[in-house]
Amino acid sequence: MATLTTAPEIADALALRRRTMTLALLTTTYFFSYMDRQILAILLEDIKADLLLSDTQLGLLSGLVFAIFYATLGIPVARLADRTSRRDIIAASLAIWSAMTALCGLAQNFTQLMLARIGVGIGEAGSSPPSHSIIADLYPPDKRASAMAVYSLGVVLGAGFGTLIGGFVATHYGWRVAMFTVGLPGIALAVLVKMFVVEPRRGLSDAGRVAEQGDAPSVMAGFAAIWRSAPALHLVVGVTLTSMIGYAITGWGPSYMQRSLGLSKLDISYYIALPGALFGSISAIAGGRIADRWAKARGLHVQSWVVLVMKGLSLPLVLAFYLIDVPAIAIGCYFGSLLFANSYLGPSFALIQHLAPLRLRAMWAAITLLVINLVGLGLGPLLVGRLSDWLAPSLGEASLRWSLVAIVSLTPWALFHYWRAGVLLRRAGD
């Protein structure tokens, strides 16, 4: 007698069959997110001249105005994602921020551009938390770090191509056309996300775990759950410190290359941006693959120690980049450091999703991103700038160099938390 296949079993099979397509679409969405975010940096001088803005206004547009709405709205969006269709939230969010990016090209003054940038932040708040949740449901723990690493390519490639496309289009057609160029295609992508991304059953790839029934827990319950989980707390602190250092390096890297190494903006665009994106992509993928391979052999706790080792190897190369005055050698050290720099992305977010209660996966991702963006993005570049200003009277242009050395020297603090998280995960049997 033939065994009847239930509707849930058919849905589960379809979700697993289409998970590669889903991961590809989510990664492409993340790519558009970072491209739309990064393009403003390369257009700032053109926007300043056209709209007669001050540097303070430019700083608000590129940092605080975006970060506040992006970080804080991720929490209510994640709560919604833990109760409703994550796919639909991602598609709607993508359409919103893509349209608002294009609208930036129509702005005639600071207020209009600020409102459009707020719209971009609001839209992008609905992308990563539900995406993390979907990926965690589609990939089992021993493959999750690799999947998260693939997803993180959106950061590296989006930033690189945002700079490249924005610079090229703005040079030939103006900054407004550049905004249209990166914004409008995202609306078409939103349709594809709605049509082809699957909405998997919560806990699909976690054998033995069953999603809790009833209403999703509150936001405070999400914070409390992370606070009670010592491994998760160490991971959140570790990834936040690592991101803060990374945002500082990314935000001030071009200025350092110009001030201390004598490179031009064109040199950085042509010879640094895309090779850097390539090396960063290798780092992200390798970090996830290595973490998954060692997890199969030794247990999930080893994934945290993979980050410890990889980031530890990058530290002397980063310091050499800032301490060596010969441009060719310094840039070589910089590229070398990038081979390890993004290795933390896949394992960090995969372990956080592993530890999260099934009904709180999007919420935990949103809380992590909230802390990363408010502390990492908010403080990293600011600390370097403040320290550089403080050191400038005595060190001159070298003040930026030593400010970056100081922020990079915080890396061992982050590595301690990854070590401790691994210890606690091993004690818990993971």
Q: What is the pLDDT of residue 73?
A: 81
Model confidence at 181, pLDDT cuts 50, 70, 90, reads very high
Residues 307/344, Cβ–Cβ less than 8 Å: yes
CA distances from 112 to 25, 141, 297, 404 (A): 31, 45, 55, 34
Task: Tell me the CB-side half-sphere exposure of residue 291, using CA atoms within 13 A.
Answer: 36
The verdict on 197 and 222 lying in the same domain is no
Instruction: For residues 86-113, give the mean pLDDT.
Output: 94
Q: What is the pLDDT of residue 216?
A: 58
Two structure tokens written together for 243 = 């991101």
How long is the chain? Answer: 430
Find all residues with CB under 8 Å of 58, minimum gap 6, and list them: 44, 47, 48
Q: What is the pLDDT of residue 370?
A: 83
The verdict on 335 and 270 lying in the same domain is yes
The verdict on 307 and 403 lying in the same domain is yes
Query: What is the average pLDDT score of the chain?
Result: 84
- The DSSP code sequence of 124-169 is HTTTHHHHHHHHHHHS-HHHHHHHHHHHHHHHHHHHHHHHHHHHHH
Q: Which residue has the higher pLDDT, 241 or 63?
A: 241
Task: Tell me the CB-side half-sphere exposure of residue 316, using CA atoms within 13 A.
Answer: 2
- The DSSP code sequence of 232-263 is HHHHHHHHHHHHHHHHHHHHHHHHHHHHHH--
Two structure tokens written together for 258 = 């110009």
Q: What is the pLDDT of residue 260?
A: 86
Find all residues with CB under 8 Å of 155, minimum gap 6, and list them: 30, 34, 284, 342, 345
Residues 208/324, Cβ–Cβ less than 8 Å: no
Instruction: For residues 149-167, give the mean pLDDT.
Output: 83
Residues 133/81, Cβ–Cβ less than 8 Å: yes
- The DSSP code sequence of 182-234 is HHHHHHHHHHHHHHH---PPTTTTSTT--PPPSSPPPHHHHHHHHHH-HHHHH
Whether 212 maps to a domain, the answer reads: no
Match 């570049």 to its residue by tokens. Answer: 381
Whether 30 maps to a domain, the answer reads: yes
Model confidence at 15, pLDDT cuts 50, 70, 90, reads confident
Two structure tokens written together for 22 = 């889903």
Instruction: For residues 35-48, give the mean pLDDT.
Output: 78
Per residue in 259-301, pLDDT (tens digit) is 788 887 677 777 887 888 889 888 888 888 888 888 888 888 8
Longest Cα–Cα distance in the chain: 86
The verdict on 186 and 235 lying in the same domain is no
The verdict on 258 and 154 lying in the same domain is no
The verdict on 224 and 170 lying in the same domain is no
Q: What is the pLDDT of residue 236?
A: 92
- The DSSP code sequence of 298-320 is H-TTHHHHHHHHHHHHHHHHHHH
Rounded to whole angstroms, how far apart are CA atoms 384 and 245? Answer: 10
Match 């060596």 to its residue by tokens. Answer: 324
Whether 10 maps to a domain, the answer reads: no
**237 has a pLDDT exceeding 90:** yes
Whether 1 maps to a domain, the answer reads: no
The verdict on 423 and 288 lying in the same domain is yes
Structural domain count of the chain: 2
**% the chain with pLDDT above 70:** 92
The verdict on 364 and 231 lying in the same domain is yes
Domain that holds residue 60: 15-201
Whether 206 maps to a domain, the answer reads: no
Whether 5 maps to a domain, the answer reads: no
* CATH number of the domain encompassing residue 261: 1.20.1250.20
The verdict on 77 and 180 lying in the same domain is yes
The verdict on 188 and 325 lying in the same domain is no
Q: Which residue has the higher pLDDT, 345 or 93?
A: 93
Whether 4 maps to a domain, the answer reads: no
**By CB neighbour count within 10 A (0-12 exposed, 13-18 middle, 19+ buried), where does 233 fall?**
middle
Q: What is the pLDDT of residue 1?
A: 42
- Amino acid identity, position 267: D
Q: Would you state the torsion angle of the CA atoms of residues 8, 12, 18, 20, taken in this order, to the nearest 10 degrees?
A: 150
Among 146, 177, 201, residue at a domain's last position = 201
Residues 337/318, Cβ–Cβ less than 8 Å: yes
Q: What is the pLDDT of residue 2?
A: 46
What is the pTM for the complete model shown?
0.75
Q: What proportions of the chain, in percent to the nearest 5, are helix, strand and coil?
A: 85, 0, 15
Q: Of the candidates 241, 204, 164, 214, which has an alpha carbon nearest to the alpha carbon of residue 421? A: 241
**303 has a pLDDT exceeding 60:** yes
Whether 207 maps to a domain, the answer reads: no
Which of 112-121, 249-258, 308-317, 401-410 comes out lowest in average pLDDT? 249-258
Count H helices and E strands in the chain, helices first. Answer: 20, 0
Instruction: For residues 308-312, give the mean pLDDT.
Output: 94
Instruction: For residues 357-363, give the mean pLDDT.
Output: 76
Among 160, 177, 201, residue at a domain's last position = 201
Q: What is the pLDDT of residue 97?
A: 93
Model confidence at 63, pLDDT cuts 50, 70, 90, reads low
The verdict on 155 and 192 lying in the same domain is yes
Q: What is the pLDDT of residue 238?
A: 94
> CA-based angle 99:118:67, to the nearest 5?
120
Among 177, 201, 225, residue at a domain's last position = 201
Q: What is the pLDDT of residue 412?
A: 96
Q: What is the pLDDT of residue 4?
A: 42
The verdict on 282 and 185 lying in the same domain is no
